[in-house]
């Protein structure tokens, strides 16, 4: 869209947001030949709304279909065809707005953005310039998962509007002609416009990742950046710290978090180079070439379009009632920040574990499903089991799944199997390490899980362990003397010997305690 | 036996239902008139006698089986070539759509076929409905069947943009025809040719499948010999369509059944701003006659003011071209219609060549105006300002309708003019719409009915504008005039 208005001024909304949490100040600087430069970043993220049909037509939206098989008469802009808004697209935009605590505009309107291109059948894109459906909002990004409280920054979001996607030109089908695939033509997009609040590649990356996470939680966008369902236009400028904004460039269609960060860095360095060489930055559109890791000019302002925006006369203004907005609000799931907070406080997990578990929808869903199953099977409290389940998911099981070709998709990687192993480990029947071994064996061979757990049960039978310890201490009187003489490291040796004597089935905690006592 | 082509919609429908004649006889009679007049009048772009016959046979077969016939059962009609018709070329009278045959049927035409009507052919019009004389068609001028009684044979304009429709109905090539009205395109040609036509409230008729000119103004409506025929046909055309977001989600009233020329208790407003200096004396006289007729029908006459009237035409010629410039962007040579791809040229060259060759001069003029008024730096001065005027005009009518039920005014400032008389002067041409445009901007129902002949022997029309959704009030006032004007003149056949 057209350059959004840029405001350095803090709006009351953002000021209120900032007051709620301590804001980190970025210290990221580009070191130029003449001194330090600060980079200023604003992002326009295009997110494809996850719906069965397009924004204004009934055509399907599946990814990867044969060219021109998902095109209605409306999408092809046949004479006399008219757009009709898809309620579900509007609903998802409102839900997304609510998820970023934004103002929902109950009165919004569609505008036409006019320009000619072969991938744009109508000769205009239906968008929302003057009255977007979602107004000002914000999201909080965490720059360090291990220290969420100390590394939070609030990034303002200026607006979200809905608009149509264009088709796609194919230049490799014919020696002299280009072909056009209209499957994407008319697909619903949300354009999420941030304020120029980011000051480093890390902040830009964290913003995109957080936005993606929220969209995926809400279910309004699948966040598949490699399929183009989420892509960012990266606005970058540089300035001396504390000075007014510099002239910015816009790098279009950047399709991964890593590339967004690379674009910020490369573009900032390029701009600093240009300015320090006595040049001026041209406000222009640029493209990112990941192979060369550089941006290059696409078109400059001189041949910029006059899009002649005006209200689409085929569509009435979009008016939302309170009931609709409330239904949208009620349908929202627990969102990432709330979930992470609950994991830390109610479940007693570490900040890092909570962040890891809430990162992806699939991860938290597995965690909660597994925790529920384990709680149910063991009768224990969530809080007492959460750490065990988290360790299993994030560390022990993750290692096993990484080592097999099927990964998490292995058919025997069931909730039941996981639950059995977690319970066995949490009750001290087997160690976490043993559970991991058994799980690997279970997935790759034909063993009975229950029998295997049973066969590997560690004993807490103090009599047997004490007997073994007594024997080992007697056989190693010299080492006992050394230990008592101060060679503490030998404790590990005694543990190893005892475990070996117990064929690995002794509860390590019990072994530790009894050894301390015997050596004490 | 009577000449079947002298019959209108109601008479044909009722005669077939009673068994006085068959639908096939009717279709054949009109097909013959169409064929005989095509060369001289050029009312049709495509004739479809087989479609008319096919529908007629279906009606006759239904009747033979004792099944109910639709409200247009057995009535052959002309279809303005702005409506997409499945399997039949649809051009909007442009070169850029020459040969374009849609695979879909417009909602309005489908409703007419569902009501038992048959299609005689696709009627000529001003290109993309842009014009007031039917001189902008790529397929040649439509010639009015009317001639001045001055002994000369000057070819006259049938009005526009629905000039093929007005000519066909007036010359007895069809008992009725569809029209579309963006800024007078039903009413002005109806007035020029001595027939009736109504533009309903914006949203009554679905725009789905009608080639768009100016989306916020375009409305379909019937053009027929009399008010009753208009009421019948409008009932068939109107109705909510989920495929058009601007369609009215309201039931269609039984307008035919509600017809009454008795206006006792009704108030008719006469807008003082419409009585302009230098007004054509015959037009002024016909307006006075109309006032007298409505008084005679029992109505009370009141003076009303529509103070922003003088801004209506300029506002219209900003809004309509603005929307048109965007609506016509889809004709780009990429997917359908004309493609002019000069050897070795690229995409931009193809756009330029295709649109240069495919659009006529008037269409280009309006695309240029529309592009200009929407441009950065001009938008607020033109488009925003025009939208404000539009709001004020709608408010004018709202205020006036607190004092009256309908408004009576002339349809056009003059009777039909000669072909070529105004085609070099766009502003003079645009002025033809001066009385018609305000109701379009306000989205109100408005109709033209014949009031008499001027001193040259040419028809004059009177316009009735009603409140939003009050087509019945408009039709009834039209009927009251019709009953008293006793207009029976028809063009003498010279073709």
Domain coordinates in residue numbering, chain B: 1-495
Q: Is the dihedral of CA B209, B213, B218, B219 positive or negative?
A: negative
Contact A118 B334 (CB under 8 A): yes
Instruction: Locate B369 and state its tokens.
Output: 């105006």
In this prediction, residue A4 has a pLDDT band, given cuts at 50, 70 and 90, of very low
**So which residues of B are the catalytic ones?**
80, 161, 185
Q: Mean pLDDT check: name the lowest of A116-130, A339-353, A493-507.
A: A493-507
Contacts of A112 in chain B (CB under 8 A): 326
Partner-chain contact B383 A310, CB within 8 Å = yes
Contact with chain A for residue B273, Cβ under 8 A: no
Task: Report phi then psi at A472, rounded to 5.
Answer: -65, -40
Whether residue B212 and residue A80 make contact (CB cut-off 8 A), yes or no, is yes
What confidence tier does A21 reach under pLDDT thresholds 50, 70, 90? low
Is A80–B100 a contact, with Cβ atoms under 8 angstroms apart?
A: no
Please tell me the distance in Å from B468's CA to the nearest CA on chain A.
17
Tokens of A202: 């890390």
Residue A215's contacts (CB-CB under 8 Å, 6 or more residues apart) are A47, A96, A221, A223, A230
Q: Where are the alpha helices (DSSP H) in A21-162?
A: 87-99
Average pLDDT on A278-307 reads 86
Q: Which residues of chain B does A316 touch, with a Cβ-Cβ cutoff of 8 Å?
A: 245-246
> Cα–Cα distance between B437 and A396 in angstroms, integer?
77
pLDDT of A406 strictly over 50: yes
Confidence category of residue A342, pLDDT binned at 50, 70, 90: very high
Nearest-CA distance B242 → chain A (Å):
8
Residue that the structure tokens 């082509």 belong to: B5
Buried b (16+ CB within 10 A) or exposed e, A288-303: beeeeebbeeeeeeee
Distances (CA, A) of A278 to A38, A271, A281, B57: 18, 11, 10, 84
Q: Which of B455, B437, B454 is nearest to B446 (CA)?
A: B437
What pLDDT was estimated at residue A2? 44
Residue whose tokens read 């071994």: A437
Distance from CA of B249 to the nearest CA of A (A): 13
Q: Does B333 touch chain A (CB under 8 A)?
A: no
Distance CA B406, CA B193 (A): 24
Q: What 8-state DSSP symbol labels residue B329? A: G
Of A79, A178, A316, the CB nearest to B211: A79
Q: Do the chains contact at B326 and A123, CB–CB below 8 Å?
A: yes
Q: Do β-strands A230-239 and A188-194 pair in parallel, antiparallel, or remain unpaired?
A: unpaired
CA distance A68 to chain B (A): 12
Sort out which chain B residues have CB atoms less than 8 A from A117's CB and list them.
Answer: 347
Per-residue pLDDT tens digits of chain B, which is 495 residues long = 579 999 999 999 999 999 999 999 999 999 999 999 999 999 999 999 999 999 999 999 999 999 999 999 999 999 999 999 999 999 999 999 999 999 999 999 999 999 999 999 999 999 999 999 999 999 999 999 999 998 889 999 999 999 999 999 999 999 999 999 999 999 999 999 999 999 999 999 999 999 999 999 999 999 999 999 999 999 999 999 999 999 999 999 999 999 999 999 999 999 999 998 889 999 999 999 999 999 999 999 999 999 999 999 999 999 999 999 999 999 999 999 999 998 888 999 999 999 999 999 999 999 999 999 999 999 999 999 999 999 999 999 999 999 999 999 999 999 999 999 998 888 888 998 999 999 999 999 999 999 999 999 999 999 999 999 999 999 999 999 999 999 999 999 999
Q: What is the DSSP letter of A395?
A: I
Q: Do residues A161 and A190 lie in contact, with contact meaning Cβ atoms separated by under 8 Å? A: yes
Minimum Cα–Cα distance from A121: chain B residue: B330
Chain A, nearest residue to B341 by Cα: A177
From chain B, pick out residues whose CB is under 8 angstroms from the CB of A122. Answer: 329-330
CA distances from B461 to B351, B414, B450, B485 (A): 42, 9, 4, 11
Q: Does B373 touch chain A (CB under 8 A)?
A: no
**Domains along chain A with CATH numbers:** 12-302 (no CATH), 333-455 (no CATH), 462-519 (1.10.10.410)
CA distance A229 to A30: 32
Closest partner residue to B208 (CB to CB) among A80, A123, A124 is: A80
Nearest CA-CA distance, residue A137 and chain B, Å = 29
Asked, as a colleague might, if the bond just before B161 is cis with ω within 30 of 0, I would say yes
Which H or E run contains B221?
Answer: strand B219-224
- B391 to chain A, any CB pair closer than 8 A? The answer is no
In angstroms, the Cα distances linking B81 to B106, B124, B211, B330, B439 are 11, 6, 9, 18, 24
Q: What is the pLDDT of residue A258?
A: 97
Chain B CA closest to residue A73? B104
Q: Which of residues 217-256 of B touch A (CB under 8 A)?
A: 242-246
DSSP character string of A234-287? EEEEEE-TTSPP---EEEEEE-SHHHHHHHHHHHHHHHHHHHHTT--PPPEEEE
B358 contacts chain A (CB < 8 A): no
Strand pairing report for B406-410 and B459-466: antiparallel
With 60 as the cut, is the pLDDT of residue A122 above it? yes
As a whole number, mean pLDDT of residues A443-461 equals 85
Dihedral angle, C-alpha B41, B44, B47, B51, nearest 10 °: -120
What is the pairing mode between strands A137-142 and A124-127? Answer: unpaired
Closest chain B C-alpha to A306 CA, distance in angstroms: 6
Which of A53, A75, A80 is best to mutate for the B interface (most B CBs within 10 A)? A80
A313 contacts B216? CB cut-off 8 A? yes
Q: Between A416 and A259, whose confidence is greater? A: A259
CA-based nearest residue to B255, from B14, B17, B478, B476? B476
8 Å CB contact of A81 and B208? yes
Q: Which among A121, A178, A308 has the least Cβ separation from residue B335?
A: A121
- Give the model confidence (pLDDT) of A357-381 as tens digits: 999 999 999 999 999 999 998 889 9
Tell me which chain B residue has its CA closest to the CA of residue A57.
B243
List chain A residues with CB under 8 Å of B326: 112, 114, 123-124, 308, 310
Q: What is the DSSP letter of A207?
A: H
Distance CA B162, CA B218 (A): 13
Distance from the Cα of A325 to chain B's closest Cα (Å) equals 21
Q: Are A251 and A234 in contact (CB under 8 A)?
A: yes
Distance of CA A261 to CAs A40, A44, A46, A256, B461, Å?
13, 14, 17, 9, 71
Instruction: Give the residue from A79, A83, A121, A185 with the most B CB atoms within 10 Å of its CB, the best one to mutate.
Output: A79
Do residues A468 and A462 make contact, with C-beta atoms less than 8 angstroms apart? no
For A187-216, give one letter per residue: b (16+ CB within 10 A) or e.
bbbbbbbbbbbbbbbbbbbbbbbbbbbbbb
Show residues of chain B in contact with A123, CB under 8 Å.
326, 328-330, 332
* Chain A neighbors of B210, CB-CB under 8 A: 80
CB contacts < 8 A, A to B, total 97
* Shortest distance, CA A94 to any CA of chain B (angstroms): 20
* Lookup result for tokens 């997409």: B84
- The verdict on a CB contact (< 8 Å) between A79 and B216 is no
pTM for the model? 0.90
- Asked if A124 and B326 come within 8 Å (Cβ–Cβ), the reply is yes
- Please check whether residue A134 is in contact with residue A161, taking contact to mean a CB–CB distance below 8 angstroms: yes
Chain A residues with a Cβ under 8 Å from any Cβ in chain B? 73, 76-85, 112, 114, 116-118, 121-124, 178, 180, 306, 308-310, 313-316
Residue of B nearest to A182 (CA): B335
Residue that the structure tokens 């048109």 belong to: B324
Select the residue of B92, B100, B375 nearest A308 (Cβ to Cβ): B375
Return the CATH architecture of domain B1-495.
Alpha-Beta Complex (3.90)
How close is the nearest chain A Cα to the Cα of B212, in Å? 6
- Please give the helix or strand (H or E) that residue B326 lies within, else none: helix B312-327
Query: Which of B92, B329, B336 has the most A C-beta neighbours within 10 Å, making it the best mutation to test the interface with A?
Result: B329
Which chain B residues are closer than 8 Å to A314 by Cβ? 212, 215, 245-246
When scoring A308, A309, A315, A316 by the number of chain B Cβ atoms within 10 A, the one with the most, hence best to mutate, is A308
Give phi and psi for B123, each to the nearest 5: -85, 140
Give the rounded percent of residues in chain A with a pLDDT score beyond 70: 96
- Report which DSSP code applies to A459: B
Query: For residue A18, what pLDDT band results from cuts at 50, 70 and 90?
Result: low
Q: How confident is the model at residue A5 (pLDDT cuts 50, 70, 90)?
A: very low
Instruction: Report chain B residues whose CB lies below 8 A from the CB of A114.
Output: 325-326, 329, 374
């Amino acid at each position: 869209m057209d350059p959004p208005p840029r405001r350095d001024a803090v709006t009351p909304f953002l000021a209120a947001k900032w007051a709620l949490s301590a804001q980190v100040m970025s210290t990221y600087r580009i070191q130029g030949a003449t001194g330090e430069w600060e980079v200023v970043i604003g992002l326009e993220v295009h997110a494809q709304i996850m719906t069965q049909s397009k924004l204004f037509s009934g055509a399907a939206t599946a990814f990867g279909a044969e060219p021109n098989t998902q095109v209605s008469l409306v999408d092809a802009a046949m004479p006399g065809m008219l757009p009709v808004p898809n309620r579900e697209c509007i609903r998802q935009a409102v839900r997304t707005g609510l998820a970023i605590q934004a103002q929902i505009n109950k009165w919004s309107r569609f505008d036409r953005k006019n320009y000619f291109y072969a991938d744009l059948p109508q000769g205009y894109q239906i968008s929302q310039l003057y009255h977007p459906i979602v107004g000002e909002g914000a999201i909080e990004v965490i720059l360090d998962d291990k220290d969420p409280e100390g590394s939070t920054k609030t990034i303002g979001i200026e607006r979200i509007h809905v608009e149509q996607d264009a088709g796609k030109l194919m230049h490799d089908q014919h020696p002299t002609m280009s072909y056009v695939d209209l499957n994407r033509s008319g697909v619903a997009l949300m354009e999420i416009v941030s304020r120029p609040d980011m000051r480093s590649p890390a902040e830009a990356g964290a913003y995109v990742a957080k936005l993606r996470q929220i969209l995926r939680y809400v279910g309004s966008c699948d966040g598949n950046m490699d399929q183009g369902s989420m892509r960012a236009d990266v606005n970058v400028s540089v300035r001396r710290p504390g000075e007014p904004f510099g002239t910015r460039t816009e790098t279009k269609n950047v399709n991964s978090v890593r590339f967004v960060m690379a674009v910020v860095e490369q573009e900032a360095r390029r701009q600093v180079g240009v300015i320090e060489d006595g040049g001026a930055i041209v406000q222009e559109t640029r493209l990112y070439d990941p192979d060369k890791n550089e941006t290059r000019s696409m078109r400059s302002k001189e041949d910029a379009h006059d899009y002649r925006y005006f209200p689409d006369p085929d569509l009435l203004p979009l008016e939302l009632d309170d009931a609709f907005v409330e239904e949208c609000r009620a349908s929202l799931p627990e969102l990432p920040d709330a979930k992470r907070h609950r994991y830390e406080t109610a479940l007693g997990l570490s900040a890092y574990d909570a962040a890891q578990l809430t990162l992806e929808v699939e991860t938290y869903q597995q965690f909660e499903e597994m925790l529920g199953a384990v709680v149910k099977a063991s009768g224990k409290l969530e809080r007492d089991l959460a750490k065990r389940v988290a360790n299993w998911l994030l560390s022990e099981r993750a290692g096993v799944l990484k080592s097999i070709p099927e990964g998490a998709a292995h058919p025997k990687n069931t909730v039941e199997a996981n639950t059995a192993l977690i319970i066995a480990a949490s009750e001290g029947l087997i160690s976490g390490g043993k559970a991991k071994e058994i799980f690997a064996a279970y997935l790759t061979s034909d063993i009975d899980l229950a029998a295997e757990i049973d066969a590997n049960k560690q004993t807490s039978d103090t009599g047997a362990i004490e007997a073994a310890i007594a024997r080992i201490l007697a056989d190693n009187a010299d080492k006992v003397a050394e230990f008592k003489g101060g060679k503490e490291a030998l404790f590990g040796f005694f543990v190893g010997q005892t475990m070996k004597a117990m064929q690995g089935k002794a509860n390590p905690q019990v072994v530790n305690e009894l050894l301390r006592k015997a050596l004490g | 036996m009577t000449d079947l082509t002298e019959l209108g919609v109601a008479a044909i429908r009722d005669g077939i239902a009673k068994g006085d004649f068959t639908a096939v006889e009717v279709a054949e009679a009109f097909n013959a008139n169409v064929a005989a007049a095509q060369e001289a009048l050029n009312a049709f772009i495509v004739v479809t006698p087989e479609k008319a016959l096919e529908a007629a046979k279906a009606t006759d077969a239904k009747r033979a089986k004792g099944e109910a016939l639709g409200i247009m059962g057995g009535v052959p009609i002309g279809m303005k070539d702005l409506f997409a018709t499945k399997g039949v070329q649809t051009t909007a009278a442009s070169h850029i759509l020459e040969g374009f045959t849609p695979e879909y049927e417009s909602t309005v035409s489908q409703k007419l076929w569902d009501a038992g009507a048959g299609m005689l052919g696709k009627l000529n019009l001003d290109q993309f409905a842009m014009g007031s004389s039917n001189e902008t068609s790529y397929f040649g001028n439509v010639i009015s069947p009317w001639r001045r009684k001055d002994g000369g044979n000057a070819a006259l304009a049938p009005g526009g943009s629905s000039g093929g429709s007005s000519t066909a109905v007036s010359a007895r090539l069809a008992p009725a025809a569809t029209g579309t009205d963006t800024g007078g395109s039903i009413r002005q040609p109806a007035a020029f040719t001595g027939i009736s036509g109504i533009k309903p409230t914006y949203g009554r008729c679905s725009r789905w499948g009608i080639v768009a000119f100016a989306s916020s103004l375009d409305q379909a409506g019937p053009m027929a010999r009399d008010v009753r025929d208009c009421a019948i046909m409008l009932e068939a055309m109107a109705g909510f369509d989920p495929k058009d977001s601007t369609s009215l989600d309201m039931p269609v009233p039984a307008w035919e059944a509600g017809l009454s020329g008795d206006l006792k208790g009704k108030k008719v407003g006469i807008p003082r701003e419409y009585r302009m200096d230098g007004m054509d004396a015959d037009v002024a006289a016909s307006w006075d006659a109309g006032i007298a007729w409505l008084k005679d029908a029992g109505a009370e006459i009141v003076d009303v003011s529509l103070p922003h009237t003088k801004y209506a035409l300029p506002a219209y010629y900003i809004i309509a071209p603005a929307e048109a410039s965007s609506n016509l962007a889809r004709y780009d040579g990429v997917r359908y219609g004309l493609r002019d791809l000069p050897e070795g040229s690229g995409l931009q060259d193809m756009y330029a060549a295709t649109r240069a060759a495919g659009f006529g001069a008037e269409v280009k003029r309006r695309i240029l105006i529309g592009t200009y008024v929407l441009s950065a730096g001009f938008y607020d001065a033109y488009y925003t300002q025009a939208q404000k005027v539009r709001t004020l005009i709608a408010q004018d009518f709202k205020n006036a309708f607190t004092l009256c039920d309908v408004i009576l005014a002339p349809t056009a400032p003059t009777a039909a003019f000669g072909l070529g008389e105004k085609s070099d002067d766009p502003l003079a041409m645009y002025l033809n719409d001066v009385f018609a445009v305000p109701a379009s901007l306000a989205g109100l129902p408005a109709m033209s009915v014949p009031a008499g002949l001027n001193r040259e022997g040419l028809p004059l029309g009177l316009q009735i504008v009603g409140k939003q959704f009050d087509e019945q009030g408009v039709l009834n006032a039209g009927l009251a005039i019709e009953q008293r004007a006793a207009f029976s003149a028809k063009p003498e056949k010279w073709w």
